[in-house]
Structure 1
Amino acid sequence: MDEKDWHAIRVLYEEKNITRAAERLYISQPALTYRFKNLEKIFGIRLFFKIKGGIEFTPEGVHLAEYALEMIDKLQRTKDYMLNMQNEVRGTLRLGVSSNFAQYKLPKILKKFSTNYPMVQFNVNTGWSADIMKLLDSSSVQLGILRGNYDWYGIKTLLHKERLCLISKKEIDMENLPNLPFINYKTDSSLKNLINGWWHDRYTEPPQVIMETDRQETCKEMVKNDLGVAILPEICLQPSDNLFTHGLSYKSEEPVFRNTWLMYNKDSLKLSTVNSFIDFLNDHRNL
């Protein structure tokens, strides 16, 4: 087996579908199938079998896939440390970043960092924080930037915090909020729990949900057109939105904050790229 075999098995293990795996690897389906048949001959096993809508790995196939993942990780770590042995800060920085932070904060951060360290390349995965946690746990990324509270056995530092805000096209009476049309959006469980916790602290009646949107930006556009009110993290709001905003607080008058955390393993600090990026984040929190 070589590096190409490891990556082919990894992608198929993730996709559980030959066609989608071939598309991700930018090779033809027959060529990929031929590669797997050769591996089966070499090891004298069956890697997988077909099921409706895709494939399922055999126990032997699962073992080989786990081996491939381990070898990919070891090879990447070796590349990282070999580059780290040189004097200048260079190499690939692997980041897992929560979607909201990636959309509103990360581009400026990466642009500024790359100006200071032009020999550093980026491999960035974005998504919900729960997905970024999985990438951290599997060491697929060196640094994770997550929103919400997640348990982590490594190093965890508070990077950013912002208020949750109720937004509306017109000024409203907060006491009348349960009677107003409310717009929801898909998000991770940590933000849902934060919003629900605040609501139950302030009101005995549930919100009058009239619309479910796919994401926060869609929700905000609906509010801009006076179709209802919504609750969004402050990071999503711009002065140009021309919306009324009301920072949320509990009955105790404690503000409702959404926290953003930087998480990583202690071993990652051996890499100059990681150290430099962490220092840069700490020095440029207001970007």
Structure 2
Amino acid sequence: MDIKSLRYFLAVTEEGNITKAAKRLCIAQPPLSRQLQLLEEELGVVLFQRGKRRIQLTEEGYYLKRQAEEILALVEKTRSQLGQMGNSLCGQVSIGVVETCGGSILPDLAEGFHSQYPDVSFQIWSGNGDEVTDKLNRSLVDMAILREPFYIEQCESIFLRQEPWVAVMSRDHPLAGGADEIELSALGQEPLMISVRPSLQDEILNWFNEISEERKIFCYYNSVASVIPMVEHGTGIAISPESVKSFTSGRNLVYKKIIHPQHDSRLYLVRRRYQLPPAAAGAFWDYTKKKYCDKD
């Protein structure tokens, strides 16, 4: 199993068809089929279920796909870091971003940094908190924008900002009118959609325990974007940090800051401690630290 065979394998999984994958790779179909067969023989597993028009991954195939994506990402990152060693003003900064964080923070940071270092590019990995944390712990990204609480092995962090939690609901919802704030107790009997992350689940459920209020959890989400259509339809109310507005504004939604009590979420730029960063990533860290520490 080598890099070439993994690239061939991923091309087939993405195209879902060996003929299309062969055209994409600019090789003939028989050699590609043979490469896949050799890969299965080497690993001792069946990776594909072959159909007449489309192939599907087996459980073993899905596992290899996830691993191959990480391996090739690490290869590209290594190539980029080696390429920038001779010039500290070039290279790439790899950043993991939680969907409800990056839209409100990253554009300003990236624009300001790029004006100083125009030859540095960015690689952005987006996902939920657990996925981004895992990539940082595996050193697949240089740093990450994360929401507290986060659990990173021996990390250091830069506080970026804090923001309130909001209740996101349809404009047609009975609670949508009036002030742009809503008391937590008013949400107790509503079907709520909250994060699937255990740490955030506990935090939100404790809010209701503190005011001795019952709550109805309708749905747990790992990506708030996935439940926004249900919110617009009036199925329930999503609880999310306020930066959800950055990628859902303009839709049939109302955002109300949760008060009595008000709860806030804190955002950080995080990296692993004692890990020598590439020059571009180190420069970005220093730029962010200066920008945010100088505000205080």
TM-score by length of 1: 0.69
How far did residue 80 of structure 1 move?
0.6
Query: What amino acid sits opposite 2:84 in the alignment?
Result: L
Instruction: Provide the residue aligned with 1:259 in structure 2.
Output: 266
Query: What amino acid sits opposite 1:85 in the alignment?
Result: G
How far did residue 126 of structure 1 move?
0.4
Alpha-carbon distance in structure 2 between the residues aligned to 1:99 and 1:284? 22
CA contact (8 A) 2:182 2:256 kept: no
How far did residue 248 of structure 1 move?
5.3
Q: 1:174 to 1:78 in 2, by over 3 A?
A: closer
Q: 1:283 to 1:41 in 2, by over 3 A?
A: same
Give 1:135-284 correspondences, 5 Å limit.
Answer: 135-157=135-157, 158-166=159-167, 168-171=176-179, 174=183, 177=186, 180-184=189-193, 188-207=197-216, 215=224, 219=228, 222=231, 231-237=239-245, 244-247=256-259, 249=261, 256-266=263-273, 268-284=275-291
Runs of 5+ in structure 2 lacking a partner?
Answer: 50-55, 169-175
1:89-116 CA distance string (max 9 Å, x none)? 1111111110011222222322222222
Alpha-carbon distance in structure 1 between the residues aligned to 2:263 and 2:60? 46
Alpha-carbon distance in structure 1 between the residues aligned to 2:41 and 2:225? 51
Q: 1:276 to 1:50 in 2, by over 3 A?
A: closer
Alpha-carbon distance in structure 2 between the residues aligned to 1:236 and 1:67? 32
The DSSP-based 3-state class of the residue aligned with 2:267 is strand
CA contact (8 A) 2:113 2:287 kept: yes
The DSSP-based 3-state class of the residue aligned with 1:284 is helix
1:231-280 CA distance string (max 9 Å, x none)? 3313335899875534353xxxxx53323232323465442111111122
CA contact (8 A) 1:183 1:219 kept: no
CA contact (8 A) 1:49 1:55 kept: yes
Q: Does 1:45 align with 2:42?
A: yes
How far did residue 25 of structure 1 move?
9.9
Alpha-carbon distance in structure 2 between the residues aligned to 1:23 and 1:5? 16
Percent of aligned pairs with the same amino acid: 14
Alpha-carbon distance in structure 1 between the residues aligned to 2:199 and 2:20? 33
How far did residue 20 of structure 1 move?
7.8
Q: 1:97 to 1:23 in 2, by over 3 A?
A: farther
How far did residue 41 of structure 1 move?
5.2
Alpha-carbon distance in structure 1 between the residues aligned to 2:236 and 2:67? 49
CA contact (8 A) 1:7 1:72 kept: no
1:15-62 CA distance string (max 9 Å, x none)? 6x872899899836985773463476599735641565423559xx97
Equivalent pairs, count = 271
The DSSP-based 3-state class of the residue aligned with 2:146 is strand
The DSSP-based 3-state class of the residue aligned with 1:195 is helix
Alpha-carbon distance in structure 2 between the residues aligned to 1:54 and 1:112? 43
1:61-87 CA distance string (max 9 Å, x none)? 97xx9799668736733541441232x
How far did residue 117 of structure 1 move?
1.2
Q: 1:153 to 1:229 in 2, by over 3 A?
A: closer
Query: What amino acid sits opposite 2:164 in the alignment?
Result: R
Structure 1 counterpart of 2:58, from 43, 55, 70: 55
CA contact (8 A) 2:22 2:32 kept: no
Root-mean-square deviation (CA, aligned residues, Å) is: 4.7
Instruction: Provide the residue aligned with 1:120 in structure 2.
Output: 120
Alpha-carbon distance in structure 1 between the residues aligned to 2:120 and 2:8? 26
Runs of 5+ in structure 1 lacking a partner?
Answer: 250-254
CA contact (8 A) 2:40 2:46 kept: no
TM-score by length of 2: 0.67
Alpha-carbon distance in structure 1 between the residues aligned to 2:147 and 2:119? 29
